[in-house]
Amino acid sequence: MADGLILETTFLVDLERELLAGGDGPAQQFLANHAEASLFITFTVAGELAAGLGPDRRDRWEQFVAPFTVLPANADVCWQYAQAFRFLKSNGLLIGANDLWIAATALAHAKALVTRNSREFQRVPGLRVLGY
């Protein structure tokens, strides 16, 4: 994927657990298989990761997200959010708000999303979802 991959929160949590355990796991294997890809996270993923740490752990959070480009919210992300929200709501398929922002960011930036939660994200039309 020359255009890059967005790593979703579930992937990053699994990756951190694998690294802390000192073993090789599915997240590490996925990265090895996509070594040429540029890696991104969304502003929402960055926020979810920060929320998982205590308020005195900003240094740890900054260290963890430093290898990734954080994709910001912009007008295109907001538009994609609205389009996906309307579709999902009208079809009784609505997903969580944070996941919808993550999906909208991936759509706006034309990047595939890497997640353990493929079933939910595959509801979003046009979103390229990669499981691991």
- Judged against a pLDDT cut of 80, whether residue 1 lies above it is answered with no
Averaged pLDDT, 30-36: 95
Closest CA to 107 of 32, 34, 3, 10: 3
* Total count of domains within the chain: 1
CATH of the domain at 35: 3.40.50.1010
* Pairing relationship of beta strands 69-71 and 39-42 according to DSSP bridges: parallel
- Judged against a pLDDT cut of 70, whether residue 3 lies above it is answered with yes
> What's the mean per-residue pLDDT of the chain?
95
CB atoms within 10 A of CB 60: 13
Burial 29-51 (b: 16+ CB within 10 A, else e): ebbeebeebeebbbbbbbbbbbe
Residue-wise pLDDT tens digits, 38-96: 999 999 999 999 999 888 889 999 999 999 999 999 999 999 999 999 999 999 999 99
Token pair recorded at residue 111: 């990047």
Residue 67 lies in domain? 5-130
